[in-house]
Amino acid sequence: MKKFDINEDPHRRYNPLIKEWVLVSPHRSKRPWQGQNEAVSNITLPSYDPECYLCPGNVRANGEINDSYENSFVFDNDFAALKQDEIIQEIESENTFFCAKSERGISKVVCFSPNHGLTLPELSVAEIENVINTWQKEYTLLGAIDYINHVQIFENKGSVMGCSNPHPHGQIWAQSSLPTQVEKTHSSLSEYFEKKRTNLLLDYLEEELKIKERIVIENDYFVALVPFWAIWPFETMILPKRNISKITALTETEKTAFATILKQLTTKYDNLFNTSFPYSSGIHQAPTDGKLHPEWLIHMHFYPPLLRSASVKKFMVGYEMMGESQRDITPEKSAEALRNCSVIHFKNK
């Protein structure tokens, strides 16, 4: 019988955050690395687009006019997925077959910059710090509303991710329930804390920092790594090195360090295939239920769909839909590829 080699043999890896497995098939990605062969796609957008509903001073779909903003700008989503109205629950919520619960919440759009032609990696560290200030402000404001227990900050970047507009922006959905992914993470973090009185993600990070092979980039306060259990080819996670449960707990120095690693990671992403790298990213952090959450560690997920080039995308289909997530390139190889990318944006070379 052959001895198991994690770099060669098909195997499954466990994600302790959401208690799911991923099938890894390293033997299928034997082909040489092709990322560097891409042609540079250097599309430059104007800094102002009169047709863009996110540009300063422009009219949105509902007729409202955007502020003539100079930094970031937040507005209530005109097509919000959630409503603030209090609704008396009349549908039976415990029915096995027809279980439904009303959900209350607020959806906002956050413009990262007045400049239509830039993306997150192209903003300066100071400009990204300003975006973080806005996230902090919204987490505080929304979290203070009595029925809001969770604030989800996220970004969809690129049309391949369903993003409707290249103007740099993200969204915030705040609601009364913990959404499914967060609920799963919350329960794992809580269970671990109950048992060990330590933080699952901080303990995990400590181990990763000893091994080093999945670390993409780090500074004094933050680490960006490809999780051991990543499902997307170039999935990453940003974690703080100390016990920070929510975005409002960052010191000024940590805010700068967070902005720096965000800029560097997203720049590396763009440099990987010389393209504006699409992804969905989101910050997972403590619920806003008024309780202390020592079990929580703020972390930011990046789920990019690209596989081998600017145009070859991974599809979560077939076996992934019917069985479980599967990947060929190992997280270790992905981390190495990202580590080897420059932190100077290809457009500036």
Contact residues toward ligand H2U (CB under 6 A) are 53, 60-61, 77-79, 109, 156, 163-165, 171
Nearer to ligand H2U, 8 or 78 (CB): 78
Burial category of 239 from C-beta neighbours within 10 Å (exposed 0-12, middle 13-18, buried 19 and up)? buried
Kindly tell me the number of DSSP H helices and DSSP E strands found in the chain.
6, 12
β-bridge partners, 325: 22
Nearer to ligand H2U, 171 or 177 (CB): 171
Which amino acid, one-letter code, is at 77? N
Nearer to ligand H2U, 63 or 290 (CB): 63
Nearer to ligand H2U, 60 or 184 (CB): 60
Q: What is the nearest approach in angstroms of ligand H2U to the Cβ of residue 165? A: 5
Q: What is the nearest approach in angstroms of ligand H2U to the Cβ of residue 212? A: 35
Pair of tokens at residue 99: 């279980």
Tell me which of 169, 284, 299, 301 is the catalytic residue: 169
The three-class DSSP label of residue 214 is coil
Helices assigned H by DSSP within the chain:
125-143, 180-196, 200-211, 252-272, 319-322, 331-339
Compute the distance between CA of residue 128 and CA of residue 137 in angstroms, rounded to an integer: 14
**Active-site residue, 167 included:** no
Q: What is the nearest approach in angstroms of ligand H2U to the Cβ of residue 241? A: 31
β-bridge partners, 301: 237, 282
Q: Do 261 and 219 meet the contact criterion of CB atoms below 8 Å apart?
A: yes
Q: What is the nearest approach in angstroms of ligand H2U to the Cβ of residue 202? A: 32
Compute the distance between CA of residue 219 and CA of residue 171 in angstroms, rounded to an integer: 27
Nearer to ligand H2U, 152 or 264 (CB): 152
Instruction: Identify the residue whose tokens are 């009595």.
Output: 146
Residue of 130, 157, 136 lying closest to 265 (CA atoms):
157
Q: What is the nearest approach in angstroms of ligand H2U to the Cβ of residue 135? A: 16
Nearer to ligand H2U, 21 or 154 (CB): 154
Residue of 343, 332, 347 lying closest to 13 (CA atoms):
332
Q: Which one-letter DSSP state was computed for residue 91?
A: S
Nearer to ligand H2U, 109 or 265 (CB): 109
Q: Do 153 and 298 meet the contact criterion of CB atoms below 8 Å apart?
A: no
Q: What is the nearest approach in angstroms of ligand H2U to the Cβ of residue 179? A: 16
Pair of tokens at residue 200: 């699952």
Pair of tokens at residue 148: 């809001």
Compute the distance between CA of residue 167 and CA of residue 118 in angstroms, rounded to an integer: 7
The three-class DSSP label of residue 83 is strand
Q: What is the nearest approach in angstroms of ligand H2U to the Cβ of residue 68? A: 17
104-to-18, 55, 86 alpha-carbon distances in Å: 25, 29, 7
Report the catalytic residues.
169
